[in-house]
């Protein structure tokens, strides 16, 4: 297990991630002992919500209230086409007890070594918050990062996930060139720059034709 995680996480430390950055691939053990792989077929290509427990040891009440509030919203509105999971530094048995006590419908992943925390720029954790929430697009890129305390942040964050789910609905293109259409492969800034380059004037040389080996072009 440790070797697999080491292979999937390419670096130990990271700067604070920002919108547009990709989360490094990782594999962590869930509360039931199964392996959660961020690049598995069940996860890849779906909007994702990652909730990191960042509260001081023994003071996880804000994190727990946030999980309970999020679970209530998911129960009411659903999250059928998205992935939701929480990440803690605890071991599997502790996460299983927490899931059962709160009646959570999503997985709690165990990162006792803090490798994913470091890879996501959360080592050390931001001061004064119980949880940090990452909203990721289907390409596992950061859409937004929210750090706060307890249930107050959950409604707004869950709304972001809902909008991502709506944006990820399949779209039918009437006509286009024979190509593979990949959504969000380029940023808006890259697209704007390429469009500007396309419209830039280029020199044109006029000629009546070229002669080569006795043949008129």
**For 103-116, how does the pLDDT look when each residue is reduced to its tens digit (9 = 90+)?**
998 999 999 999 99
Confidence of residue 91 (pLDDT cuts 50, 70, 90): very high
> Residue 101's pLDDT is what?
92
Q: Which residues pair with 108 in a beta bridge?
A: 86
Percent of the chain with pLDDT strictly greater than 90:
19
Residue 169 has pLDDT above 60, yes or no: no
**pTM greater than 0.85 (yes/no):** no
Model confidence at 96, in pLDDT bands (50, 70, 90)?
very high
CATH number at residue 99: 3.40.30.10
Exposure string of 84-117, with b = 16+ CB inside 10 Å and e = fewer, is bbbbbbbebeebbebbeeeebebbbbbbeeebbb
Give mean pLDDT, residues 88-112: 92
Domain that residue 97 falls in: 2-167
Residue 216 has pLDDT above 60, yes or no: no
**Does residue 95 carry a pLDDT above 90?**
yes
Q: Is the pLDDT of residue 213 over 50?
A: yes
pLDDT at 13 over 70: no
- Domain contains 201: no
Residue 175 located in a structural domain: no
- How many domains, in total, are found in the chain? 1
Question: pLDDT higher for 209 or 85?
Answer: 85
Flag whether 173 is in a domain.
no
Is residue 207 situated within a structural domain?
no
The answer to the question of residue 206 being in a domain is no
* Average pLDDT rounded to a whole number, residues 80-102: 89
Q: What is the pLDDT of residue 4?
A: 40
Of 20, 40, 127, residue with least CA distance to 85: 40
Instruction: Return the pLDDT at 145.
Output: 84
Could you tell me if residue 176 is inside a domain?
Answer: no
pLDDT score of 92: 92
Does residue 200 lie within any of the structural domains? Answer: no
The whole-number pLDDT of residue 18 equals 81
Residue 82 · residue 165 · CB < 8 Å = yes
- What integer best gives the mean pLDDT of the chain? 76
Minimum mean pLDDT among 44-48, 84-88, 181-185, 201-205: which range? 181-185
């Amino acid at each position: 297990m440790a070797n697999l995680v080491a292979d999937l996480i390419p670096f130990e430390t990271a700067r604070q991630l920002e919108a547009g950055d990709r989360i490094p691939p990782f594999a962590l053990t869930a509360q039931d002992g199964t392996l959660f792989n961020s690049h598995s077929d069940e996860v890849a290509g779906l909007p994702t919500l990652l909730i990191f427990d960042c509260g001081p040891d023994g003071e996880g009440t804000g994190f727990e209230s946030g999980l309970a509030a999020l679970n209530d919203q998911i129960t009411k509105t659903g999250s059928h086409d998205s992935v939701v999971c929480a990440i803690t530094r605890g071991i599997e048995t502790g996460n299983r007890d927490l899931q059962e006590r709160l009646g959570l419908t999503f997985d709690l992943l165990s990162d006792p070594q803090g490798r994913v925390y470091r890879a996501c720029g959360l080592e050390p954790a931001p001061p004064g918050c119980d949880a940090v929430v990452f909203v990721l697009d289907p390409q596992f890129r950061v859409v937004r990062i929210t750090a706060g305390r307890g249930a107050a942040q959950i409604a707004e964050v869950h709304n972001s996930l809902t909008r991502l789910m709506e944006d990820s609905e399949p779209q039918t293109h009437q006509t286009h060139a024979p190509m593979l259409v990949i959504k969000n492969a380029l940023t808006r800034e890259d697209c704007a720059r390429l469009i500007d380059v396309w419209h830039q004037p280029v020199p044109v040389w006029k000629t009546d034709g070229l002669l080569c080996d006795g043949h008129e072009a």
